Chains A and B, each alone.
Chain A
Amino acid sequence: MQPDYLVVSGADKRFGAATVLRDLSLSVAQGEFVSLLGPSGCGKTTLLRCIAGLLHPDRGRITVGGRDITALAAHQRNVGVVFQNYALFPHLTVAENIAFGLRARGISKAEAGPRVAEALALVRMEVHGDKPVTALSGGQQQRVAVARALVVRPSLLLLDEPFSALDRKLRETMQVELKQLLREVGITAIFVTHDQEEALVVSDRVAVMNAGQIEQLTDPVTLYHAPASLYVLDFVGQSTKLSGKVLSSSDGMIEVQTAFGVLRAPASFMPGSSVAVAVRPEAMVLAPEADAALNTLRGQISDISFLGSRTQIHLNAPAEGEDRVILELSRLPAGLATGQEVSFGFRVTDTMAFLA
């Protein structure tokens, strides 16, 4: 296993006046499945196209397995791509689509046959080989696109929003299926999505992109519990944010004044700085017992919403202010009503602080 299998370093890409990638660096280990997460227009597709050789960055280097491929054209790179709407060739059958890459490499029809059959079997499409691709359902088309990209044994597989054309139910099945398939093949893959849940479910590591740069690249658990910035925090999962001022700072712990009271967070910012403090809804408990490891605050219930498996409680600060707290409980205690004042708490170690 090579830790720096795919390396993009210092890549810039401009279209006219717009800079779409700026000094972007990325490093992916061999066999790893990394998803690229970010809002529309942040440059995800552009980055993929640069790696595939369909675009050339204005500056920077791209290496795969130590080999510099920056100057190579798309057809010399051996990088597989699954396109957003699959880009299957309508004038060819399913089997001919899959054989396309092999034939382009000068492999004879006879030699390609078994490999195509193998690829069809891999995506469980054996019986559909002779159909025109236009006769396939969305899920089947996606499988053909994956098989077509994999059959040439690419050094790297890139997938640009491969699930966006599928409905929700099918999407969930295909996510699991694709994850298992790529594990089985053991290929290094980069997968673009703007669905954060999909990114967390599917990948080994997630790269969050912001305006042409990678904001954070880490495993899903770290990403969720220790986002590197407010941007990442906002983009991944729900959270309650309170604005406040740092009162004191010592030993990597700060005390912050918020509308709900004073709380502590593991961080070291100068006293007097404005900060945002964030907590995940499920990290909070209602009416906790006194505990030095907890931040304990009070608030007034403004709304209770039942969501099935959990219940959300919205709290207003006792003092005037815009901040609200949302906490999630798996079971609603009896006798809770709107207007009531309650205490709530969360672990100091679950408290995240960012400079505002």
Chain B
Amino acid sequence: MMAPASKAQKLDPLAYLALPGLIFMALVFLAPLLLMLWSSIRGADGFTLSGYARVLGDDYYIQVIGQTLQLALITTAGALILGYPAAFALARAKGWRQVVLFALVFLPLTVSIIVKSFGWGIVLRRDGILNWLMLNLGLIERPIRMIFTEFALYAGMINVFLPFMVLPIYSVVRMMDPRLPDAAATLGASPWFRFTRVTLPLSLPGVVAGVSIVFSLAVAAYVTPSLLMGDRYMTMSMVMAKAFLNLRDWQLGAAMAAVLMTLAVVVVIGAAILQRRLGTAKGS
């Protein structure tokens, strides 16, 4: 009288709701990625690593990879130096003030990256706002060239990715028990000792999250470097775009993409492992 107990009965019927989304992502996301990886090792006559040999054996491409990493590192470091203390001030603010400050940090995230990069160009032009300000303040005698310099690139990159550093640190710091540094103070710890032994370790999960997000976004950045520097500063993303759109050299582009993907994935997984470590260290 009852339905026979089959194997499928063990799976909750709700589990099947995952299928449409999963199938879609497998077909539209996973399959193309695998195809791309495959095409990076597919030569005219079967398996070849020549795409990778060209990327990793050519001084030019090695230099591009180095430049990309350098840009990502400087961007991450700059964002951390500015964003870490800012996150503390943001978490400390109370009431309506915090809402306003939060909105001001949050707003740039939602503004188009093209608009921001375009605005950044206006800021840095010879007849732009920065030169105008410095001239009027008497800091400089005649306008200096800033746009299309590495300085402009770094500043623009930090500008675009800074909120991704501030927000994760902010959400960790906000949850931090403010009594802990106080408790340390009653134990006779100096402010510096308190910061390095209590506050800093407790905020580390936010730092790891922020650093990994900013680094993996910066290493793959395309719009900001190409708008602010153009061909003068080639990054991996720009080489890839060129290989596909101009040179039609798919093997090269796919190999470069695989290297970039590996870099980004390693950072993300490394950060996840570090997070887990920090989490368990806190729990014990």
Contact = CB atoms under 8 A, between A and B. Distances in A.
Contacts of B10: 16
A339 B60 CA distance: 94
Chain A interface size band reads under 10
Interface string A51-88: 00000001000000000000000000000000000000
Interface residues of B, number: 4
Contacts of A16: 5, 9-10
Chain A interface main SS type:
loop
Contacts of A58: 2
A17 B5 contact: yes
Nearest to B2: A58
B20 to A, nearest CB: 25
A61 to B, nearest CB: 15
Interface in A10-67: 14, 16-17, 58
A16 B13 CA distance: 12
Interface string B1-16: 0100100011000000
A100 B5 CA distance: 39
Nearest to B10: A16
A16 B7 CA distance: 9
B12 to A, nearest CB: 10
Interface string B199-228: 000000000000000000000000000000
Nearest to A58: B2
A58 B3 CA distance: 11
A31 B172 CA distance: 53
B6 to A, nearest CB: 10
Interface in A251-268: none
B13 to A, nearest CB: 12
A17 to B, nearest CB: 6
A10 to B, nearest CB: 14
B10 to A, nearest CB: 5
A340 B190 CA distance: 65
A230 B9 CA distance: 37
Nearest to A12: B2
Interface in B1-52: 2, 5, 9-10
A241 to B, nearest CB: 40
B103 to A, nearest CB: 24
Nearest to A17: B5
Contacts of B9: 16
A17 B4 CA distance: 11
B138 to A, nearest CB: 57
6 contacts: A14-B2, A16-B5, A16-B9, A16-B10, A17-B5, A58-B2
Interface of B: 2, 5, 9-10
